[in-house]
Amino acid sequence: MAAWIAVSCGGGDESATPPPSNGGTGGDSGSGGSAGTAGGSTGGTGAKDGGAGNGAQCGVCTLDKDCATGFKCIPAPLGDLFCAKDCASESCPSGDYECVDLAEYGRPDAGTAGSGPDASNDTGSGGAAGEASTEGGSEAGQDAASDGSSDSSLGGAAGAAGAAGAGGAGGTGGAPSTGGSAGAAGAGPQGKVCVPTKSASCPCIASRTGVKRNCFNENSFGKCTGKETCQSNAWQGCDAPAASKEICDNKDNNCNGFTDMDEPGITGNQLCSSGQAPPHSGFTCAAGECQLAGCEPGWTKYPPSTPASEGCNCAIDPPDITATKNDECANATDKGSLSDVGSTPVTIQGTLATDSDVDWYGIVMKDQNEVPIPNSYRVHVEFVAADGNPGDQYRFDIVRTDGKTPCDTAGLKTELTSYDWCADVTTDPTKPGNADSTATYRIRVFRKAGAAGDCKPYKLKLSNGGGTGSCPADDGCGQ
C-alpha cells in the first residue's frame, strides 16, 4: 500500500489529502520531489545522483554528500574512500558485498549526513519526508516514475528516493532549511554499510581511475607502506620502499615506526657496526651519525680525525691518568739513576695523547770515582733509531742541575733530538778528569710545532758512561 505524507510548502495550507495509491499525479508536484531528497547535504545530492553513477556502490567520493541517497562515504582498510550502501534495512547489491557495522569498519569524520543546513541544497525542507519516501513510499514513487510524471527539478524519476518523494506530493518532514530528522539520524559512525567481500578495496574500474590507496612492500626486515593508483583497471605504481636493517641514518629503515636509537632494545653498536663495539669504546647514534659513546679508562681517541670505527685507539700513559700528571717539571716521572760504570741504558717509551700533552722525566746521572783511569762519565740522550721518533714529530728539552733546584731553567737545552755531556779528561787543573760530575736531569718530551700528530709512541734512550776516548768534541757536548 502506498504511504502518504503531508508537506508544508511556502507557508501554504498544512492540511493535505491522501494521494491516489498509484501516485500517478504526485510526480507533478515538483516540491514534493524536493521534499523527498532533502535532509542535509547527503539527502540533496542523493536525489540528484539517483543511486547511479559515481554516487552508487563503490563510487568515488570525498564526503558523504558525494554519494547517492542511502549511501555513505567511508574509507576502505587500505585508505581509499568509496560510497557504501546503507544496509540496515536493505540487502547489499550482490554477493560481492557484505553488510558490516559502520562503527567497526570506520568512516571519515567530515561530511557526515545530517550535519545541518546546506545552502547549496535545492531545498532545505523535508528531510524526514525523504526517509519516509525511501522506505514507505517506494510503491507510489515507482508508479509515478512509470507514468513519467516527474517534472521535479531534482529529477523525480532519478532513482527510488526521488520518485517516491514525488509520489508523496509533500509531507510533514522537517521545517524549511533545518536539515530534518533524517540527517540527524545519519550523524556519526552508526548503521551498517555494504563493503567488498573479496578484497580490501573496491575494484579498480574505469570510474575509479586516479584513486589512490595504501600498498605494502614486505620482506624479512619489515613491512613498508606506500601508495598505488588505479590506472587502466589495475592498481599500479606502488611506491612503498623495501624495508632494510635499521642503521644510524635518521631514517626508519625497517618501517616499524621507530628511528635509530628509538628502536626498542637496539644498541648503538648494532646500528653502527652490526653489534661489534669499536676498540675500547662503544657506539651511540645521534642525529643520524655514529659517534663514540666515551672511552674505556686509560684510552682516548687521537688524533681527533680518527674514524669512529677505530674507537679509542690511543693508550694514555699511566702517569697522565694520575691526579699529579707528569705534564709539569715538578711532577716529573722519576726514572731513578744511572752510573757511569756498569749501568745499562734506560729506554723511556711514552705517548702524547693530545695536541698539548707533554711528558716530564727526572733521572740522576752518577759519576763513580775511577782513579787511576780516566773518567768515563758521559750522559747521552737520543730518540731510538728507526722507530723512536715516528714521523719526526717529537722533540725534547733537557736541563742539568745540582739537584737542589731541579726545575731551574738556567742552561736549558731545547728542541733536541740528541744530547751529550762528558767529563773533561784533559790535564787542565781547573777541570780535573775525575772530579765528581754527578747531576740531576729533567727532560721534557713534546710534539714539535706543526707536526701531524698520531698515537705512535716515542722511544727515548738514556745512557751514562763510555766517555773515555769516544766523547764528542766540545762543540758537540752538552757542557
Residue 363 near residue 338 (C-beta atoms within 8 A)? yes
**Structural domain tally of the chain?**
4
What's the CA gap between 396 and 358, in Å, rounded?
A: 10
- Reference 251, options 237, 232, 271, 267; nearest CA is 271
Q: Name the grid cell of 338.
A: 744511572
Amino acid in the structure at residue 157: A
In a domain, 3, yes or no: no
Residues 83 and 163 in one domain: yes
End-to-end CA distance of the chain: give it in Å, rounded: 133
CB 195 within 8 A of CB 100: yes
**Residue 24 backbone dihedrals phi, psi, to 5 degrees:** -65, -35
- Residue 247 inside a domain? The answer is no
Stretch (H or E) spanning 104:
helix 102-105
Same domain, 336 and 276: no
In-domain check, residue 243: no
- Retrieve residue 402's grid coordinates: 745540582
Residues with Cβ < 8 Å from 450, sequence gap 6 or more? none
Asked if residue 98 belongs to a domain, the reply is yes
Q: Is the peptide bond before 264 cis (omega within 30 degrees of 0)?
A: no
**Same domain, residue pair 267 and 128:** no
Q: 441 and 381 share a domain?
A: yes
Q: Which helix (H) or strand (E) holds 323?
A: none
Q: Could you identify the residue written with the cell 514525488?
A: 166
CA distance 83 to 57: 5
Same domain, 308 and 334: no
**Cβ-based burial of 450 (10 A; exposed 0-12, middle 13-18, buried ≥19):** exposed
Instruction: Show which of 196, 222, 252 is a domain's final residue.
Output: 196
The one-digit pLDDT tens for each residue of the chain (479 residues) are 333 333 333 443 433 334 433 433 333 333 333 333 333 333 333 333 333 356 899 999 999 999 999 999 999 999 999 999 999 988 998 889 999 998 888 544 433 333 333 333 333 333 333 333 333 333 333 333 333 333 333 333 333 333 333 333 333 443 333 333 333 444 555 789 999 987 778 999 999 999 999 999 999 999 999 999 999 999 999 999 999 999 999 999 999 999 999 999 999 999 998 788 999 999 999 999 999 999 999 999 999 999 988 999 999 999 999 888 999 999 999 999 999 999 999 999 999 999 999 999 999 999 998 887 778 899 999 999 989 999 999 999 999 999 999 999 999 999 999 999 988 766 566 665 677 889 999 999 999 999 999 999 999 999 999 875 555 554 444 44
State whether 60 and 189 are in the same domain.
Answer: yes
Same domain, 44 and 107: yes
Whether residue 303 sits in one domain with residue 347: no
Q: Are residues 225 and 174 in the same domain?
A: no
Strand runs labelled E in 368-468: 378-383, 394-401, 413-416, 418-422, 439-447, 458-464
Instruction: State which residues form the domain around 231.
Output: 206-236
Write out the H or E segment, with its range, that includes residue 102.
helix 102-105
142 plus 74 within the same structural domain: yes
Q: Decide which of 298, 315, 332 is a domain's last residue.
A: 315
Is residue 327 included in any domain, yes or no? yes
Q: How many CA atoms lie within 13 A of 30 on its CB side?
A: 7
State whether 284 and 419 are in the same domain.
Answer: no
Examine the domain organization and report whether 178 and 270 are in the same domain. Answer: no
pTM beyond 0.75: the answer is no
Q: Which of 315, 349, 378 is the last residue of a domain?
A: 315
